[in-house]
Amino acid sequence: MTPEVIKKPKEEYVRESAFLNFSEEKQERLRKRFWAKVDIKKSNDCWNWKSYLYDHKDGYGAFKYSNSPLRAHRVSWVISFEMPIKKGLVIAHSCDNRICCNPDHIFIGTQMANHKDATQKNRKPTDKKTGQFIKLTNPNPT
Ligand SMILES: [Zn+2]
């Protein structure tokens, strides 16, 4: 018996993207389970994650799935826009609220774009340990 050759896919997607390959019923169950953990408000408001946090230092919502949790805002992206996330791309918050799952408050981009966005908002990842962005009081001292 010849072993099956597994070709590396052209594009690599992150784990969350696998949802899109599930059967309709399975996707429906997942969506129900996911949105039940989100405090859904008006479209302009932040929709805060009500369940576990990914890691107390990192502060993102954690959606329990399989053996390891997924970041809630990334799951929100995949199930809301039905678009996979390519490896290397990040899902960032326009509202700067890490537990927010409002699809209107998240956008896809590169790590670089995220940093640029952070700089424009006068945030800098100053705390290396937590990776938290903190607001600077005087970003451009003269
Ligand atoms: Zn928000």
C-alpha distances (whole Å) from 63 to each of 16, 29, 122 are: 10, 14, 30
Please write the tens of the pLDDT for every residue from 69-104: 899 999 999 999 999 999 889 999 999 999 999 999
- Please give the distance, rounded to the nearest whole angstrom, from the Cα atom of residue 104 to the centre of ligand 1: 8
Tokens representing 49? Answer: 């994650």
- Please give the distance, rounded to the nearest whole angstrom, from the Cα atom of residue 41 to the centre of ligand 1: 10
Other Cβ atoms less than 10 A from the Cβ of 76: the count is: 25
- Please give the distance, rounded to the nearest whole angstrom, from the Cα atom of residue 19 to the centre of ligand 1: 23
Cα angle 32, 65, 87; round to 5 = 105
- Please give the distance, rounded to the nearest whole angstrom, from the Cα atom of residue 43 to the centre of ligand 1: 9
- Kind and range of the H or E element at 90? strand 89-93
Show pLDDT as tens, one digit a residue, over the chain (142 residues): 555 555 555 678 889 999 999 999 999 999 999 999 999 999 999 999 999 887 667 889 999 888 888 999 999 999 999 999 998 899 999 999 999 999 999 999 887 666 666 666 655 444 434 334 433 333 344 4
pLDDT for residue 111:
74
Other Cβ atoms less than 10 A from the Cβ of 16: the count is: 22
- Please give the distance, rounded to the nearest whole angstrom, from the Cα atom of residue 1 to the centre of ligand 1: 54
- Please give the distance, rounded to the nearest whole angstrom, from the Cα atom of residue 4 to the centre of ligand 1: 45
- Please give the distance, rounded to the nearest whole angstrom, from the Cα atom of residue 35 to the centre of ligand 1: 15
pLDDT for residue 10:
63
Domains and CATH numbers, the chain: 15-110 (3.90.75)
pLDDT for residue 71:
93
Tokens representing 72? Answer: 């809630």
Please tell me the distance from the alpha carbon of residue 52 to that of residue 64, in angstroms, as a whole number: 8
- Please give the distance, rounded to the nearest whole angstrom, from the Cα atom of residue 78 to the centre of ligand 1: 16
- Please give the distance, rounded to the nearest whole angstrom, from the Cα atom of residue 67 to the centre of ligand 1: 27
Decide: 80 and 66 in contact? Cβ < 8 Å.
no
Tokens representing 64? Answer: 């329990």
- Please give the distance, rounded to the nearest whole angstrom, from the Cα atom of residue 138 to the centre of ligand 1: 25
Decide: 37 and 63 in contact? Cβ < 8 Å.
yes
